């Protein structure tokens, strides 16, 4: 185990992230295109709320960018994942397999369905769900049943698998889909962090039955708040659109609603911002990959850490750059030193199974996830830090 010179590492990162000094955020939005023009159009026309041309345009443009047939835009990524899980058939009392190492929204969306998160381990290669580990775990605890596999320990139905592409790095989706198909489990992709990432040349979000992404203010593109449901199934997309728009039947004036549903509609003014941001996505991706390359090269000579690089066969959006420390005992020292120097860094999330509301949920052994949390630090990753003159 190599010892890290914390001050030296902080200085190297500062030279890239803040060469002129001053404080630098972890991830900031970048507005350099048609954002003002499109938002002003909404204000000038009065179409600022839940209907308008930009909603339809954003859904169409996003579907093309994600290489899926349909996109349904909503108020945030959690809402998108909630509806995606319902579309996959998740019911109250089911268990849903998902990584313990994820943002809390993944587990919360499962709970919003009345289901129970079932936490599984991660992979050092991707930082996301480990298909081989999941396969071995299912062989131990699952048994076939008429309504799908069942957890023989709890007796509950296993309803779906939700991988999350951590910091934009793709999960081994071919391996995961093989496991899912073998057990007859639908895959709901949590692609909240991975817009623009590729695996084997294909975008993420549409590999499973349905997926979800996010446009929060800290994501690679933003609508201020927002998310989207992604699918290649027209029937699922139509159903998702109906459920997210209060289940209102189309009519010139009547308010006819045919079931209990959700008011998850994305306002037109937010969609306008999204349309402008999506036009800049290729430039943002170039900038963020350039930034990752600079970090990788600059940190390569330092003992005690390594820069986390995209998995084999992947082209990551490097939403949040990450370093892995050799010695977990130095993590908090590094966080304190870098933040004191004005360089915003942060640790990974607390494992879901360690949060008070999820401590009693089923889980497999989590040695890799716990090791990742103890040693990983995110460093400044805004696209502006990697922008070049032609962006």
- Tens of pLDDT, residue by residue over 8-64, are 999 999 999 998 888 999 999 999 999 999 999 999 999 898 788 999 999 999 999
β-bridge mates for residue 203, sequence order: 198
In this prediction, residue 297 carries a pLDDT of 97
Domain 6-28+281-386 matching CATH 3.90.1150.10: the answer reads yes
Question: If pLDDT is split at 50, 70 and 90, which confidence band does 390 have?
Answer: very low
Strand arrangement, sheet containing 158-161 = 116-120, 95-99, 158-161
Q: How far apart are CA 375 and CA 377, in angstroms?
A: 7
Percent of the chain with pLDDT over 90: 94
State how far the alpha carbon of 126 is from the alpha carbons of 28, 133, 210, 372, in Å: 24, 13, 21, 11
Q: Give me the residue label for tokens 């081994």.
A: 172
Average pLDDT, the chain: 96
pLDDT in tens, 305-336: 999 999 999 999 999 999 999 999 999 999 99
Contact 213, 192 (CB under 8 A): yes
Q: Is pLDDT above 90 for 82?
A: yes
Percent of the chain with pLDDT over 70: 99
Q: Give me the residue label for tokens 């979800």.
A: 212
Q: Is pLDDT above 90 for 389?
A: no
| Rounded mean pLDDT, 82-89 | 98
Domain with CATH 3.90.1150.10 in the chain: 6-28+281-386
Q: Give me the residue label for tokens 């709320």.
A: 49
Q: How many CA atoms lie within 13 A of 302 on its CB side?
A: 24
Determine phi and psi for 160, rounding to 5 degrees. Answer: -170, 165
| Rounded mean pLDDT, 345-367 | 98
Architecture of domain 35-279: 3-Layer(aba) Sandwich (3.40)
Residue scoring higher pLDDT (323 or 390): 323
Q: How far apart are CA 320 and CA 155, in angstroms?
A: 39
Q: How many CA atoms lie within 13 A of 277 on its CB side?
A: 29
Q: Is pLDDT above 50 for 381?
A: yes
pTM metric for this prediction: 0.96
| Rounded mean pLDDT, 225-250 | 96
**Smallest Cα–Cα separation from 95: which of 154, 183, 21?**
154
Contact 316, 170 (CB under 8 A): yes
Q: How big, in percent rounded to 5, are the helix, strand and coil portions of the chain?
A: 40, 20, 45
Determine phi and psi for 114, rounding to 5 degrees. Answer: 80, 10
Contacts of 338 (CB under 8 A, 6+ apart): 10, 13, 344, 345, 377, 379
Domain with CATH 3.40.640.10 in the chain: 35-279
pLDDT in tens, 152-205: 999 999 999 999 999 999 999 999 999 999 999 999 999 999 999 999 999 999
The total of other beta-carbon atoms located within 10 Å of residue 391's CB is 16
| Rounded mean pLDDT, 126-143 | 98
Residue scoring higher pLDDT (361 or 21): 361
Helix pair angle (131-141, 173-183), 10° resolution:
20
| Rounded mean pLDDT, 358-384 | 98
Determine phi and psi for 156, rounding to 5 degrees. Answer: -90, 150
In this prediction, residue 50 carries a pLDDT of 79
Q: Read off the DSSP letter of residue 126.
A: T
Contacts of 313 (CB under 8 A, 6+ apart): 199, 200
Q: Is pLDDT above 90 for 301?
A: no
Q: Which two tokens stand for residue 121?
A: 């381990």
Question: If pLDDT is split at 50, 70 and 90, which confidence band does 388 have?
Answer: very low
């Amino acid at each position: 185990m190599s010892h890290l010179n914390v001050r030296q590492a902080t200085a190297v990162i500062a030279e890239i992230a803040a060469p002129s000094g001053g404080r630098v955020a972890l991830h900031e939005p970048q507005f350099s295109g048609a954002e003002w023009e499109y938002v002003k159009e909404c204000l000038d026309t009065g179409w600022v709320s839940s209907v308008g041309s930009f909603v339809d345009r954003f859904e169409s443009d996003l579907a093309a960018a994600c290489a899926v047939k349909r996109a349904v835009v909503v108020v945030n990524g959690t809402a998108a994942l909630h509806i995606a899980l319902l579309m996959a058939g998740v019911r109250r009392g089911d268990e849903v397999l998902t990584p313990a190492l994820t943002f809390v929204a993944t587990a919360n969306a499962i709970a919003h369905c009345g289901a129970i998160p079932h936490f599984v381990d991660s992979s050092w290669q991707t930082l996301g769900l480990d298909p081989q580990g999941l396969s071995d775990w299912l062989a131990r605890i699952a048994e076939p049943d008429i309504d799908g596999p069942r957890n023989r320990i709890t007796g509950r139905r296993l309803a779906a698998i939700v991988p999350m592409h951590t910091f934009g790095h793709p999960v081994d989706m071919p391996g995961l889909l093989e496991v899912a198909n073998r057990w007859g489990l639908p895959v709901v992709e949590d692609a909240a962090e991975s817009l623009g990432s590729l695996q084997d040349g294909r975008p993420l979000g549409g590999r499973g039955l349905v997926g979800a992404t996010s446009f929060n203010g800290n994501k690679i593109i933003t609508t201020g708040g927002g998310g989207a449901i992604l699918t290649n199934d027209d029937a699922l997309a139509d159903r998702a659109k109906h459920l997210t728009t209060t289940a209102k039947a189309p009519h010139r004036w009547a308010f006819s609603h045919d079931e209990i549903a959700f008011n998850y509609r994305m306002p037109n003014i937010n969609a306008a911002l999204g349309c402008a941001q999506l036009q800049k996505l290729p430039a943002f991706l170039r900038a963020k990959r350039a930034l990752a390359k600079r970090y990788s090269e600059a940190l390569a000579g330092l003992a005690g850490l390594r820069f986390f690089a995209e998995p084999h066969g992947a082209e990551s959006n490097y939403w949040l750059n990450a370093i892995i420390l050799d010695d977990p005992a130095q993590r908090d020292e590094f966080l304190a030193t870098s933040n004191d120097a004005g360089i915003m860094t942060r640790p990974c999330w607390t494992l879901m199974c360690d949060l008070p509301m999820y401590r009693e949920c089923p889980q497999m052994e989590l040695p890799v996830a716990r090791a990742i949390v103890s040693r990983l630090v995110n460093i400044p990753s805004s696209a502006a830090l990697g922008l070049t003159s032609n962006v």
